[in-house]
């Protein structure tokens, strides 16, 4: 099969055969279908069969996310868990089929959402993905840049970019690792000194990787505005959907409640700093379409964080340009949905269960009158 796809010269024929073989049909055969696909793609990675990888990349775009995640797990099992050191083979795919790499990252971030210790990405996988993205952050945008896009994305499929998933990784990682560590301690099996040292060393490496990844994600978010404008999608396509930000914030909220804030204050601050940075940049570059009011409501129960507080308040408030003719001057940095110049913010709903830590308080009318520094 691998040879057939390799030798088929017509792209369209190859695509059709591939999707007719591997599109899930919702019947019993789907399991063997997926098993076969896993083997095929795994082999294609091993012997670097670019046409198969390209087909797989398209398949990942057009197949419901639940199946994509299964393919991702199959590959991760083969290359991260089964044979140690084989991850190097997967790493080389970067130059052969960036499109596949991009889709692979998206599916992997959908799989490992850090909701439990099991769903923390293996460190080999993390290292792989960070090395890819750090080498060329634009890898994240390959599918987005090469696909004709309608403003309404279908539900139940992978997102156009792994941005949301990667933001989730970076933001949740400090808390998730802290939880994992806490769990292993409270299990009553204090690890041997050697094991403990190796684990903590490994975690420290991971922290470094998440830091690096976070920087790359921010850089990609910053370059998004140009791409969105170029594709005439600025303000029309939320690449970081607000609907996905809401559960993320909820999870952070839950995790920080779960961990003892006194013991995990550093981790909580790091997570919130990263969240605030990502939100600020995503909003400003038009990747996140929401008002600051929306954000304020969502983040209201989070523990206090200076930067998040600033982000929610917003930078300089736009004076309204009622006197200017329409289209006179676009505020390219203002999310098109716009937010009220001076938000008549409704009183925050009182929460029955007050959190154990100070919450984000909104200071009305707090703006940042800009004074040029010179």
Partner 1 sequence: PNTPSQTFFVEFHSHLNGQGGCWETQSWAAVLMFCFSILQYEMYTIERNAERTASAGRLLYDMFVNFPDQPAVWREISVITSALRNDSQDKQTQFLRGLFETLPGRVQCEMLLKATEQCFNTLERAEMLLLLLRRFPETVVQHGVGLGETLLDAESIEDQESPVNCFRKLFVCDVLPLIINNPDVRLPASLLYKYLNKAAEFYINYVTRSTQTESQYQGSQDSSDIMSPSKRSSQKYVIDGLTEKSSQITDPWERLFKILSVVGMRCEWQMDKGRRSFGDILHRMKDLCRYISNFDSDAHAKYKNQVVYSTMLVFFKNAFQYVSNIQPSLFQGPNAPNQAPLVLLEDVTNIYGDTDIDRNKHIHKKRKLAEGREKTMSSDDEDPSGKARSRHITVNKADLANSIEVLESFKLARESWELLYSLESLDKEFTRICLSWKTDTWLWLRIFLTDMIIYQGQYKKAISSLHHLAALQGSHSPQQITGQGSLESQRALIQLATCHFALGEYRQTCEKVLDLVCCISLPIQEGGKVQEEQPKVKSKFRKGSDLKLWPCTSRAIMPYCLHLLLACFKLRAFTDSRDDMALGHVVVLLQHEWPRGENLFLKAINKICQQGNFQYENFFNYVTNIDMLEEFAYLRTQEGGKIHLELLPNQAMLIKHHTVTRGITKGVKEDFRLAMERQVSRCGENLMVVLHRFCINEKILLLQTLA
Task: Report the residue number, 226 or 340, with the smaller CB distance to partner 1.
Answer: 226
Under the binding rule (CB under 8 A), the answer on residue 153 touching partner 1 is no
Burial class (CB within 10 angstroms; exposed 0-12, middle 13-18, buried 19+) of 37: buried
CA distance 317 to 339: 9
Range in contact with partner 1 (rule: CB under 8 A) among 54-62, 75-83, 135-143, 266-274: 266-274
Residues 332-361 that bind partner 1 (CB under 8 A): 332-333
Task: Report the residue number, 72 or 311, with the smaller CB distance to partner 1.
Answer: 311
Under the binding rule (CB under 8 A), the answer on residue 199 touching partner 1 is no
- Cβ(199)–Cβ(191) below 8 Å: yes
Cβ atoms < 10 Å from Cβ of 41: 27
Task: Report the residue number, 63 or 280, with the smaller CB distance to partner 1.
Answer: 280
Under the binding rule (CB under 8 A), the answer on residue 247 touching partner 1 is no
Under the binding rule (CB under 8 A), the answer on residue 128 touching partner 1 is no
Interface pick for partner 1 out of 14, 214, 296, 301 (rule CB under 8 A):
214
Under the binding rule (CB under 8 A), the answer on residue 368 touching partner 1 is yes
Under the binding rule (CB under 8 A), the answer on residue 86 touching partner 1 is no
What tokens appear for 63 in the block? Answer: 């197949």
**Integer angstrom CA distances of residue 174 from 122, 182, 343, 351:** 15, 12, 33, 27
Residues touching partner 1, count (CB under 8 A): 41
Range in contact with partner 1 (rule: CB under 8 A) among 44-52, 71-79, 213-221, 246-254: 213-221
Min dist CB 210 to partner 1, Å, is 9
Min dist CB 207 to partner 1, Å, is 8
Range in contact with partner 1 (rule: CB under 8 A) among 21-29, 110-118, 269-277, 354-362: 269-277
Min dist CB 153 to partner 1, Å, is 24
Task: Report the residue number, 84 or 328, with the smaller CB distance to partner 1.
Answer: 328
Helices (H), the chain: 2-7, 11-22, 29-46, 50-62, 65-76, 87-91, 93-96, 98-111, 123-135, 142-145, 163-186, 193-230, 242-258, 265-284, 292-299, 306-313
Burial class (CB within 10 angstroms; exposed 0-12, middle 13-18, buried 19+) of 154: exposed
Task: Report the residue number, 349 or 372, with the smaller CB distance to partner 1.
Answer: 372
Task: Report the residue number, 110 or 176, with the smaller CB distance to partner 1.
Answer: 176
Under the binding rule (CB under 8 A), the answer on residue 131 touching partner 1 is no
Look-up of token digits 């040029």: 372
Burial class (CB within 10 angstroms; exposed 0-12, middle 13-18, buried 19+) of 196: middle
Residue 359 phi/psi, 5-degree rounding, is: -95, 170
Interface pick for partner 1 out of 23, 61, 199, 211 (rule CB under 8 A):
211
- Cβ(281)–Cβ(221) below 8 Å: yes
Under the binding rule (CB under 8 A), the answer on residue 39 touching partner 1 is no
CA distance 217 to 134: 9
Min dist CB 315 to partner 1, Å, is 6
Nearest alpha carbon to residue 312 among 371, 351, 272: 272
Residues 275-334 that bind partner 1 (CB under 8 A): 277, 280-281, 284, 306-307, 310, 313, 315-316, 318-319, 321, 324, 328-329, 331-333
Residue 71 phi/psi, 5-degree rounding, is: -65, -40
Interface pick for partner 1 out of 225, 253, 265, 291 (rule CB under 8 A):
225
User: What b-and-e string marks burial along 160-183, b requiring 16 or more CB atoms within 10 Å of the CB?
Assistant: bbbbbbbbbbbbbbbbbbbbbbee
Binding site for partner 1 (CB under 8 A): 207-208, 211-212, 214-215, 218-219, 222, 225-226, 229, 270, 273-274, 277, 280-281, 284, 306-307, 310, 313, 315-316, 318-319, 321, 324, 328-329, 331-333, 366-372
């Amino acid at each position: 099969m691998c040879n057939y796809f390799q030798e088929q010269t017509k792209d369209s024929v190859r695509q059709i055969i591939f999707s007719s073989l591997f599109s899930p049909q919702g019947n019993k055969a789907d399991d063997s279908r997926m098993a076969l696909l896993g083997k095929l793609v795994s082999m294609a990675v091993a012997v670097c069969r670019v046409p198969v990888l390209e087909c797989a990349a398209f398949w990942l775009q057009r197949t419901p996310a639940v199946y994509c995640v299964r393919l991702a797990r199959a590959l991760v099992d083969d290359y991260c868990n089964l044979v140690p050191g084989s991850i190097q083979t997967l790493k080389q795919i970067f130059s052969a089929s960036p499109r596949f790499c991009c889709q692979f990252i998206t599916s992997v971030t959908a799989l490992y959402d850090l909701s439990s210790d099991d769903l923390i990405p293996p460190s080999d996988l993390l290292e792989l993905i960070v090395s890819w993205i750090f080498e060329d952050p634009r890898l994240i945008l390959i599918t987005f840049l090469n696909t004709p896009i309608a403003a309404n994305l279908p539900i139940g499929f992978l997102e156009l970019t792994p941005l949301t998933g990667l933001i989730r990784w970076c933001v949740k990682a400090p808390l998730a690792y802290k939880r994992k560590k806490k769990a292993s301690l409270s299990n009553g099996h204090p690890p041997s000194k050697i094991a403990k040292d190796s684990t903590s060393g490994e975690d420290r490496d991971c922290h470094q990787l998440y830091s690096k990844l976070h920087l790359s994600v921010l850089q990609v978010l910053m370059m998004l505005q140009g791409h969105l404008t170029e594709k005439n999608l600025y303000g029309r396509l939320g690449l970081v959907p607000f609907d996905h930000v809401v559960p993320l914030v909820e999870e952070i909220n839950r995790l920080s409640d779960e961990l003892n804030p006194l013991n995990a204050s550093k981790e909580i601050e790091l997570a919130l700093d990263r969240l605030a940075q990502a939100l600020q940049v995503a909003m400003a570059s038009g990747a996140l379409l929401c008002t600051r009011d929306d954000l304020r409501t969502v983040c209201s129960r989070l523990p206090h964080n200076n930067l998040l507080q600033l982000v929610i308040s917003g930078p300089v408030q736009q004076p309204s340009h009622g006197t200017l003719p329409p289209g006179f001057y676009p505020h390219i940095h203002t999310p098109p949905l716009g937010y009220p110049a001076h938000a008549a913010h409704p009183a925050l709903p009182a929460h029955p269960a007050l959190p154990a830590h100070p919450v984000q308080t909104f200071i009305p009318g707090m703006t940042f009158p800009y004074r040029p520094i010179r």
